[in-house]
């Protein structure tokens, strides 16, 4: 099958990296599929502070990740991109550049993401706990997360388990691409999650 890009978006601590890594492990096991995982945190770490967390910095980050996915796509390599991607404009741009593009939205209430953030000691939402929301540059607090207009799949990670989210995603991909992506492999993987 032709290369693809699967974009997993949502608030911080909605489960993007966890789901992306699990999906990567399942799909990477398929023979002949060249696949890379592009994680927003990894990109930021690589660039060492060259992209800030302001709205402009977040747009730039999304553009860099789209460029990486597009470059991989051009060379026959598929990608799974995990990023907050809070702006619809950035998502439309990615979809316009990569023909075989799928957008997965992890819907999770801010309060749940904040609880997970505290449990994981990530401290992304720390400004809200200290009552300093203005100027925090945190998506969901003082930067709006624009709910996607037309995601290909919505996973409600606050009401379903990680296994259920992955099983639903694998089932969706099987319906979308069928045998081109190795439907028997996906079906077996999904069945093993239940």
| Residue 147, token pair as written in the block | 């709910």
- Do the Cβ atoms of 97 and 56 come closer than 8 Å? no
Half-sphere exposure of 177 (CA within 13 A, CB side): 21
| Residue 38, token pair as written in the block | 């592009």
Tell me, yes or no, if 161 is annotated catalytic. no
Distance CA(111)–CA(108), nearest Å, equals 8
Q: Which residues pair with 81 in a beta bridge?
A: 7, 38
Q: Which one of 79, 85, 165, 189 is the catalytic residue?
A: 85
Just list the catalytic residues.
85
């Amino acid at each position: 099958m032709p290369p693809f890009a699967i974009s997993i978006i949502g608030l911080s601590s909605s489960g993007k990296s966890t789901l992306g890594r699990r999906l990567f492990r399942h799909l990477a096991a398929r023979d002949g599929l060249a696949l890379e995982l592009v994680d927003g945190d990894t990109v930021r770490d690589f660039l060492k502070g060259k992209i800030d967390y302001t709205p402009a910095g977040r747009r730039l980050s999304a553009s860099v990740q789209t460029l990486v996915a597009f470059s991989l796509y051009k060379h026959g390599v598929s990608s799974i991109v995990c990023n907050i991607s809070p702006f619809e404009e950035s998502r439309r741009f990615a979809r316009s550049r990569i023909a075989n593009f799928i957008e997965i939205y992890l819907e999770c209430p801010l309060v749940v993401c904040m609880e997970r953030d505290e449990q994981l000691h990530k401290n992304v939402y720390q400004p809200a706990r200290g009552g300093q929301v203005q100027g925090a540059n945190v998506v969901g607090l003082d930067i709006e997360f624009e709910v996607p207009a037309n995601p290909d799949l919505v996973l409600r990670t606050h009401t379903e388990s990680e296994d259920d989210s992955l099983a639903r995603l694998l089932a969706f991909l099987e319906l979308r691409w069928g045998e081109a992506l190795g439907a028997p492999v996906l079906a077996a993987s999904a069945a093993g999650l239940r």
